[in-house]
Structure 1
Amino acid sequence: MSQTILHPLRTPLYERHRFNLARMAEVGDWSMPVAYGSQIEEHHTVREDAAIFDFSHMCVVDIHGVDARMFLRKLLANDIGKLRSPGKALYSCMLNMEGGVIDDVVVYYLDDECFRMVLNAHAASRDIEWILAQVVETKSSVTLVARREDMVRGDVEALAMIAVQGPNARERVFRAIPSTRAAGKVKPFNSIIVHDFAVGEMMLGRTGKTGEDGFEMIVLAKHAGQVWDMLRSAGISAAGLDAWETLRLEAGMHVNGLDMDPQTSPFDVGLGWSVDLGPERDFVGKAALQARRQDWQFVGLAFEGSAAVPRTQSPVMSLEGEMIGKVTSGTYSPTLRIAIALALLTPDIQVGSYVSVEVYNKRISAKVVRPPFVRNGSPVGEQ
């Protein structure tokens, strides 16, 4: 029986978003909730308390096989060999042969023959093609199993992803779903699999891109609605992707396709810390990465007064009018109450200096700062 594909695609929580009058928009190939009411209120709720997000458009891929660890050590710029305890997670870039960023991923170590990788939604199909090509190239004994609803095959069960983020997120999850209290001692960038009588297996990873504490919960898609209802019934507010965008920008977190792409290296975008160039391991793009120079530096821009929000690709110039870079993403910061942006500038520009950004045919002054803008709900330094 053929599978009916909806365009745009819908997550398992789509009907709940519509029932709760969420404002929906097409995000990539997906119909996603961008706000349930006030984006600003949703943003502040995450900074001050906790809220839940539907991230089921992200793609979970399980990598099985006796060569799984060895294969991932060759595939990723960070060294998966560092993961020795089940549940440990690793952030890494996946590079092309020229050392450019194909995607940034989080990988969880489940056991010696199974690792779980979370791919960005818009890049998932391209990523999987690339990974499969590397399986063939390296003649590795591994199998990729995509777990997103539009990709599952055979008797594989689809997974959904729900994030609960905010300073009170973990305690609120424990109250909403008592079986999750087993995750009480999980440290940041670690995960645990728990079993709940009502909804079966759940993986809770203490990860996220809002700059706040919390969990990213990977659950069976068929039970995602029930998990969502349990969290909502416990009084946890829902938030849309517009709030997530302002949160991640305040936290200085990257989005693939905006802040980095196959033309930029991890060093260009401030992710050198996620690259392991140790001599005992080779990986895709390593030689090119070692040979290329750093063309850019990844910085934040803080705008004064009531400046308009800069758009992606807005030109950045020195105060003398020389072109020195571009904005990669920008927003209004609800926490700081100013416009902010992430940008790629030439390496000689100093943090603390001022630059000029072209916004709607006007040049607006901005201060070069070091991301993040906000940490643990509070401004970082003087912006």
Structure 2
Amino acid sequence: MLKTTVLNAAHRALGARMVDFGGWDMPVNYGSQIEEHHAVRRDCGMFDVSHMCAVDAVGPGVKTFLLRLIANNVGKLKTPGKALYSAMLNEAGGVVDDLIVYYLSDSHYRIVINAGTADKDLDWMAARLGEWQLDVTLTPLRMGPKAVGMIAVQGPKAKAKVWEVLPEAKAATENLGPFFGVQVGQLFIATTGYTGEDGFEITVPAGKAEALWNALLEVGVKPCGLGARDTLRLEAGMNLYGQDMDETVSPLDAGLAWTVDLKSERDFVGKAALLAHGQKWQFLGLKLLDKGVLRAHQKVTTAQGEGEITSGSFSPTLEVSVALARLPLGVAIGDTVQVDIRGKLLNALVTKPVFARHGKGLI
């Protein structure tokens, strides 16, 4: 039996094509995936991200817990609402999951983890709490009276559309910087996203999620599915757990060194392994020069050795096939490499691993 979000009936009413996504019944598109992609780059689109798992971490030991649990340094979070992106690592330095942490107070943080790894993540966190004997309560906001839905509204007109529906939220959100969240009544509104565009991710009580979704529909926000979400995040150079990294991959090899704090004396799970092994691979972009489509797991031949594509697709913004790839050290941006596509070696240009953001192509 597939799990369903609080917006499942709304998706079906719109005629969405539904698929099994990590055990969840989710919309892949509502018609044209390309149109949904362009709506977010050029105007405004929205996504049901209620399958993601928000977890409130509360207690006197919560800051110590997070300082030891994740690779980035939550000690940098001083202003209520400020967030950071990071990963939980295992002792070998592999990525248990990537996540966002919001600082709400010294005794209250909110963690947003991936849907498909939520049960594993919660078990991992509970085990660390038991091991470290810290006074922290973890509350997943999925069931019961605290259950929430989450809607991501993204695009150059996203904020204006949200304020049209939620005028009471404008004063509290119009001056929020990137990676901030604020409580507005029963809503938690954050300037985070997974598309490379401006907008909000809105956490709403589960019973009010469908009304908010329908209100956004009425002001012209286009519903978008997992298909457009994947091409948008790929163009923006954003990692997908299970494809671009997993428990066998170091964040240093997945282009996530910027989310790892190795400079402070703070210890965290996996730090010793990262220091011992260092970076073994580069995480770079590819733009296909020949005719074809780049896909995950295709082999890449370079003068420095063989690499592999982790995510690849046709880019609707650039109208060319692009990919994220793990390549040998020494490969440089501007190099031409070969990708094995169905037994043929096709040429690809090595680029920065960000192809499009804020409505514009970057390569």
Please, what TM-score do these two structures have when normalized by structure 1?
0.92
| Alignment-derived partner of residue 190 in structure 2 | 205
Match of 1:119 among 113, 120, 123: 113
The 5 Å alignment of 1:62-81 reads: 62-81=56-75
Cα deviation, 1:46-85, whole Å, max 9, x if unaligned, reads: 0001111000111111111111111101101111111111
- Cα distance, 1:267 vs. partner? 1.1
- Cα distance, 1:13 vs. partner? 0.4
Cα deviation, 1:165-216, whole Å, max 9, x if unaligned, reads: 0011111100111122121111111111101xxxxx0001101110000011
Give the conservation status (yes or no) of the 8 Å contact 2:290–2:348: no
| Alignment-derived partner of residue 298 in structure 2 | 314
Matched, 1:178 2:167: yes
- Cα distance, 1:236 vs. partner? 0.9
- Match for 1:175: what amino acid? E
| Alignment-derived partner of residue 107 in structure 1 | 101
The 5 Å alignment of 1:349-360 reads: 349-360=331-342
Cα deviation, 1:114-162, whole Å, max 9, x if unaligned, reads: 11000011111111111111101111100111112xxx3xx54211110
- Match for 2:362: what amino acid? V
| Alignment-derived partner of residue 300 in structure 1 | 285
Cα deviation, 1:211-232, whole Å, max 9, x if unaligned, reads: 0000111111111101111111
- Match for 2:178: what amino acid? P
Give the conservation status (yes or no) of the 8 Å contact 2:297–2:308: yes
| Alignment-derived partner of residue 192 in structure 1 | 182
Give the conservation status (yes or no) of the 8 Å contact 2:196–2:233: yes
User: In the aligned structure 2, how far is the partner of 1:316 from the partner of 1:267?
Assistant: 20
Give the conservation status (yes or no) of the 8 Å contact 1:177–1:230: no
- Match for 1:44: what amino acid? H
Give the conservation status (yes or no) of the 8 Å contact 1:315–1:323: no
User: In the aligned structure 2, how far is the partner of 1:311 from the partner of 1:50?
Assistant: 27
Match of 2:242 among 257, 261, 281: 257
User: In the aligned structure 1, how far is the partner of 2:291 from the partner of 2:44?
Assistant: 29
- Cα distance, 1:305 vs. partner? 4.6
User: In the aligned structure 1, how far is the partner of 2:350 from the partner of 2:246?
Assistant: 22
Where 1:140 maps in the other structure, the secondary structure is: coil
| Alignment-derived partner of residue 231 in structure 1 | 216
- Cα distance, 1:280 vs. partner? 2.9
Dislocated runs of 4+, deviation >3 Å: none
User: In the aligned structure 2, how far is the partner of 1:235 from the partner of 1:117?
Assistant: 31
**Uncovered stretches (5+) of structure 2, i.e. residues with no partner:** none
- Match for 1:300: what amino acid? G
Where 1:223 maps in the other structure, the secondary structure is: helix
- Match for 1:37: what amino acid? G
Matched, 1:133 2:122: no
Matched, 1:162 2:151: yes
**Uncovered stretches (5+) of structure 1, i.e. residues with no partner:** 1-6, 196-200
Where 1:91 maps in the other structure, the secondary structure is: strand
Give the conservation status (yes or no) of the 8 Å contact 1:12–1:160: yes
Give the conservation status (yes or no) of the 8 Å contact 2:290–2:346: no
| Alignment-derived partner of residue 243 in structure 1 | 228
| Alignment-derived partner of residue 324 in structure 2 | 342
Where 2:116 maps in the other structure, the secondary structure is: helix
- Cα distance, 1:368 vs. partner? 0.7
| Alignment-derived partner of residue 367 in structure 1 | 349
Where 1:351 maps in the other structure, the secondary structure is: coil
- Match for 2:174: what amino acid? G
User: In the aligned structure 2, how far is the partner of 1:70 from the partner of 1:280?
Assistant: 14
Aligned residues: 362
Give the conservation status (yes or no) of the 8 Å contact 2:19–2:28: yes
| Alignment-derived partner of residue 275 in structure 1 | 260
User: In the aligned structure 1, how far is the partner of 2:314 from the partner of 2:78?
Assistant: 41
Give the conservation status (yes or no) of the 8 Å contact 2:296–2:309: yes
User: In the aligned structure 1, how far is the partner of 2:226 from the partner of 2:17?
Assistant: 10
User: In the aligned structure 2, how far is the partner of 1:344 from the partner of 1:44?
Assistant: 28
- Match for 1:143: what amino acid? T
- Cα distance, 1:279 vs. partner? 3.4
- Cα distance, 1:278 vs. partner? 3.0
Superposed CA RMSD: 1.2
User: In the aligned structure 2, how far is the partner of 1:226 from the partner of 1:178?
Assistant: 15
User: In the aligned structure 2, how far is the partner of 1:172 from the partner of 1:268?
Assistant: 38
